[in-house]
Homo-oligomer: A and B are copies of this chain.
Amino acid sequence: MKLIFLGTSCMVPTKERNQVCTLLSHGSELLMFDCGEGTQRQFKIAGLKPTKVTKILISHWHGDHVLGLPGLIQTMSASEYSGTLMIFGPKGIKEKINGMMNVFNFDCNIRIDVREIGEGVFFENKDYILEAVRLRHRILCIGYRFIEKDKRRINLEYTKKLGIPEGPILGKLQRGQQVKWNGNDVEIENATKLVKGKKIAFIFDTIPCESCQHIAEDADVLVSEGVYCSDLEEKALEYKHLTAKQAAQIAKQANVKKLILTHLSQRYKETKHLKEEAEREFGNVVCADDFMEVKI
């Protein structure tokens, strides 16, 4: 599993930073969190295929988070995307997506399933759960959590010692089912080990609130906006954004393992001060750059 940062700017892109877009690559899936203008070109530069995207999770309908959608969908359509593209977002997003498709009346021939979500779990499959909270921005805005499910893995050393061959018996063990071998129960605790799934939280845009705390709780990685340094805390409050320090405080209080700051204001040519401020609150901080990849 890895995170790929395709865009890391705030509202105004810079020479170095495209508008915000974060990818989570998990198995054969590519989940996209927000889609700023220019995202389809960032795919090209990163050497990635937009057709790999399976789900797009939109935090809120502000231009710097969604203006890449029409171009991306157009390109996916022209590339003969064969799946169903799921788009999740806050209440009202169906009308927005429909309006967008009408205004930019390209020949779109892909299946799109738009879902308006509230708070709580909104998607679950055998591998992971997706959860949402409502943040506090100027318009309806959602924070997301990706919760990977725990996985039972075969302890091959043990099963080989018992002489269990590869095949259905190992399959059953992996699913946590009781099996017999040579007339005896195989001890699942020894024959398998439970690998804890990872949690990744995504917070932007918002002021500090309890929902931030909740969605970030015990996350292995928290991807959060950290738009300004603390000298602009008032501005952050006015526009309803987090400072780097506030993001770090959330990370600390929520017992997060690693904090990645993104959605950074154009005024910071270097991220040194943002990082330093955050590090005063929380030990493990990285400022994202465009095309940065983080293995999880």
Please give the residue numbers on chain A whose beta carbons come within 8 Å of chain B beta carbons, in ascending order: 11-15, 18-19, 37-38, 40-41, 44-45, 61-64, 66-68, 70-71, 74-75, 78, 96, 99-100, 102-106
Contact = CB atoms under 8 A, between A and B. Distances in A.
Contact of A40 (B13, B45, B100): B13
A214 to B, nearest CB: 29
B75 A44 contact: no
Contacts of A70: 63, 67
A143 B67 CA distance: 27
Contact of A15 (B15, B45, B105): B45
A70 B13 CA distance: 14
A195 B45 CA distance: 46
A248 to B, nearest CB: 28
A103 B106 contact: no
Chain copies in complex:
2
Nearest to A7: B41
Contact of A71 (B63, B78, B100, B103): B63
A44 B99 contact: no
B45 A41 contact: no
Contact of A62 (B11, B45, B106): B106
A98 B12 CA distance: 23
A284 to B, nearest CB: 31
Contacts of A44: 12-15
A245 B106 CA distance: 28
12 contacts: A11-B78, A13-B40, A13-B41, A13-B44, A15-B44, A18-B41, A37-B38, A62-B106, A63-B104, A63-B106, A64-B71, A100-B104
Contact of A75 (B12, B40, B61): B12
B71 A37 contact: yes
A295 to B, nearest CB: 24
Contacts of A18: 41
A67 B73 CA distance: 12
Contacts of A106: 62-63
Contacts of A100: 103-104
B63 A67 contact: no
A55 B69 CA distance: 26
Contacts of A103: 96, 99-100, 103
Q: Which 5 A-B pairs have the closest CB atoms?
A: A38-B38, A99-B103, A13-B41, A37-B71, A15-B45
Nearest to A107: B138
A78 B239 CA distance: 13
Given A11-B75, A61-B104, 18 more contacts: A12-B40, A13-B40, A14-B44, A15-B44, A18-B41, A19-B71, A37-B41, A37-B67, A37-B68, A37-B71, A38-B38, A63-B70, A63-B71, A63-B104, A64-B71, A96-B103, A99-B102, A103-B103
